[in-house]
Amino acid sequence: MDIGQRLKEARKRAKITQETAAERIGVSRQTISNWENNRSYPDILYVIDLSRLYNISLDELLKEDEKMMAYLAESTDVVKSRKALGRRLLLLTDLLIWMGCILIFWLGAKENAMGYSILFLHIVFPVVIFVSSIFVGKDDGWNAYKWLMLLFFGVLYMLVPYATFSMANMRTFDKVNLPQLSAMLPGILCAAAGIAAGTLVERRKKRRESQKDQRGSFSRP
């Protein structure tokens, strides 16, 4: 028996319509129909969602379907690659914004030091760090590196005033100063708040999904 037939039988045993299944996992009814008729295959994340929704194990759902297993292995690699690319783009975006903040200073903003400080050091860059950290908190793929991002954002924040105001002073007075590690604190705090918020959002999402699965299980005969 192929994956499409198993999905159809599992759905019928669970007494769930294609429309309901589509709504619960966030796809169209036509997509569910295509999966059940082997016109296309669900990726690994949707297979997991369907196994929970239909209260059927992944082993039973994928049993002896070598074609589907090969497709899932390939799609899993694609998903991992996309997530890895997303993490790299996030870091690149933060670095570009950081460079932009410094460049704006040297292109003329240093003439209005107070305005630059308020806008970029107290508004723009803290917001960028907080929002970026939310994405870090929501992505379990960061694993142990998630909290190392605190140092990354702390260093970025520290280097903004160092590469602007401190550099300008060193040029004026012809002396060299080292970055102050205490200047990392605002960046670390913004990043910690963002990571905590993202982690909380992801946990609540998983809790809601778990509760939906439990309600679905209780409603089945």
Tens digit of each residue's pLDDT (9 = 90 or more) over 185-201: 999 999 999 999 999 99
State the average pLDDT for the chain.
85
E strands, 67-158, are: none
Task: Evaluate whether 166 touches 179 at the Cβ level (below 8 Å).
Answer: yes
- Residues 116-143 pLDDT 10s: 999 999 999 999 999 999 999 988 888 7
User: Is residue 14 predicted with pLDDT exceeding 70?
Assistant: yes
Name residues whose C-beta falls within 8 Å of residue 62's C-beta, 6 or more positions apart in sequence. 3, 47, 68, 69, 72
pLDDT at 220: 45
**3-state SS class at 105:** helix
Buried/exposed code over 112-122 (b: 16+ C-beta within 10 A; e: otherwise): eeeebbeebbe
pLDDT at 103: 93
- Residues 66-108 pLDDT 10s: 666 666 666 666 667 778 888 999 999 999 999 999 999 999 8
Mean pLDDT, range 16-38, rounded to an integer: 91
Q: 208 or 185: which carries more pLDDT confidence?
A: 185
pLDDT at 221: 44
Range of 49-53, 80-84, 209-213 with top mean pLDDT: 49-53
Q: Provide the whole-model pTM.
A: 0.67
Task: List the domains of the chain with CATH numbers.
Answer: 3-64 (1.10.260.40), 83-209 (no CATH)
pLDDT at 140: 81
> Among candidates 203, 147, 41, 125, which has minimal Cα distance to 6?
41
